[in-house]
Amino acid sequence: MDLEEAFQLVGEFGSYQKQMVLVLVLLQLYHANLRNFRGFEQVYMACQSMLIVLIGAIPEYHIEQGDHSNYEELIKHVTFTEDVNSIVTEWFLLKQQAYKVSLAGSLFFAGVLVGNVFFGPLSDKIGRKPVFLTALFFEVVFGYATAFAPSYEVFALSRLLVGLMNGGMSLVCFVLTQEYVGKAYWAMTGTLTNMTFAVGIALFGALGYYVRPWRTLATAANSPGVLFFLLCVTLPESPRWLYSRGYTEKAEEVLQYIAVRNGNSNAAAKVKLRMCPGSVKTGNRGNNGPGLLDLFTHTVLRWRTVVLMYVWYSCSLVYYGLTMNASEESGNRYFSVAMYGLVELPAYPLCIYFIDKQWAGRRKTMASFLGLAGLSCLCTMLVPVNAGALFNATSLALLGKLLVSAAFNIVYVYTTELYPTAVRNAGLGVCSMSCRVGGILAPFVPSMRDLHTSMPFMVFCLSGISAGCLGLLLPETLNKPVTETLDELSSPAYHRIVETETHLFEEDQSKTNHKLNQ
């Protein structure tokens, strides 16, 4: 049997797979808060991502008259009038030193960028689990280095290293949530994983409200990583990766183990995989197998990769730019951060509904959400700022955040389906690399309002609309079989199978609709 038939036998989303996905999803939540030290990735990843938004908060202050001839004299006359404890108040990152707050956020994303490019292809070579655990362990270590940094320089270096490990770990984490389950559940697990990132942002806003000292906040945001590391040690290797690399017997062992843990012992004895055609052991690519260069040299993947890189870049720029714009606005910064997280939640049920509909699918839904996000940012520039009106600039910006969140969620699932298992992490790594370029630039976009108040939203508008148009050039993946190797992707036989399965599915849908109409 092939891999999909084996998953149907052992259970596509059984009790054990639900446990594994739950651990990985909660890990993503932790990540979102760690990124919040001025960036973002899901509960643990959400914490890491958003960390800088609160620990880099700039409180109200005034400067007394006196000798301001140099910076050392200037800080002696600074009085903070707001009760805020952040890196700004500890190291006086004001005036000509204020750029260091945004720099710390950009360094995090620079680290994520390098981590995506390095760890993504590495996990395709040596396996998902060893790369995932190594990156998670060192992310926790460097997270504590952030909390106890004695100087800004050490703090900035720790943010770079946390980002490096975050980039490697989070990407593999997402792929594992897909590869542990059957293809039919990829949209659901991918959406659930991304949804927890929004929850993580909201929880981080609440955590920041009650835990004000920035070092304590950083420690609290990082500590769950220790528990998650201990839980993840017991996870098995991805059966899809083992199968695509030619380790058929090991893949069978993992599937049999999943079947037993799912309470389906009878199915475990029936799992017998045929050798994957085009795998490293049976193909002609040698021991190294396909790699990063294949994304740009392979005739099918080349165009997909270029388009996806721009789509990911635009999603990141608009998503993080609008979120970080919350910290630039007046009002309660903790409420703003939480609101910019909670506003994403309605996007995910919309995604689950639309991307599984034959008339919408992945491609059209992603392009539509990106275009609408761009249009909402355009309308933000045209609507006057009126706190008393229902449709004001802030509400339209929140609508833009909701729409781009939906697009961001879809692009994760869509990209996973567009790349074969043999290069899936490499493909996600390259796309995520371009995504981090958007993240690096995002902290500086809100400051463009100094040129013109509408300038940030003009950037978001053009990015969203252009990415949506380009996304329409990609192929649809709804109800298409998963490719495991590059040979399958190029094989005429594979394309005939795709056409046949698609035709059969459309016939079944037509019959079902006819019966419902009767």
Identify the DSSP state of 275. P
Measured between alpha carbons, how far is 311 from 435 in angstroms, rounded to an integer?
8
For residue 294, what are the CA distances in angstroms to 329, 454, 489?
A: 44, 41, 12
Measured between alpha carbons, how far is 86 from 419 in angstroms, rounded to an integer?
42
Report helix, strand or coil for 280. coil
What token pair was written down for 431? Answer: 């796309």
Strands 61-63, 78-80: pairing kind? antiparallel
In this structure, the number of other CB atoms found within 10 A of the CB of residue 296 comes to: 11
Report helix, strand or coil for 512. helix
Q: Which candidate, 139, 135, 131, places its Cα nearest to that of 37? A: 139
Q: Which candidate, 341, 375, 355, places its Cα nearest to that of 415? A: 355
Measured between alpha carbons, how far is 142 from 122 in angstroms, rounded to an integer?
21
Q: State the residue for tokens 């003009």.
A: 458
3 state SS for 128-186: HHHHHHHHHHHHHHHHHHHHCCCCHHHHHHHHHHHHHHHHHHHHHHHHHHHHCCCHHHH
- Looking at 4.10.1240.10, 1.20.1250.20, 1.20.210.10, 3.40.50.80, the CATH number of the domain 293-478 comes to 1.20.1250.20
Domain 1-60+80-277: CATH architecture, name and number where available = Up-down Bundle (1.20)
Q: Which residues contact 193 (CB under 8 A, 6 or more apart)?
A: 21, 24, 25, 28, 42, 173, 174, 177, 412
**Pair 215, 149: CB distance under 8 Å:** no
The H-or-E segment that residue 63 falls in is: strand 61-63
Measured between alpha carbons, how far is 157 from 132 in angstroms, rounded to an integer?
22
Per-residue pLDDT of the chain (518 residues; tens, 9 = 90+): 888 889 999 999 999 999 999 998 888 766 655 554 333 334 455 555 566 666 777 777 777 776 666 767 676 777 777 777 888 888 888 878 888 887 887 788 788 888 888 898 899 999 999 999 999 999 999 999 999 999 999 999 999 999 899 888 888 988 999 999 998 898 888 888 878 777 777 777 777 788 888 899 889 888 888 999 999 999 999 999 999 888 999 999 999 999 999 998 888 888 999 887 666 554 444 456 677 888 999 888 999 999 999 999 999 888 877 766 655 555 566 776 677 677 778 888 888 889 988 889 999 999 999 999 999 888 877 776 655 556 677 777 788 888 988 998 899 899 999 999 889 989 988 998 888 788 778 767 877 877 887 788 888 899 999 999 999 999 999 888 888 888 877 765 555 555 554 554 455 555 545 554 55
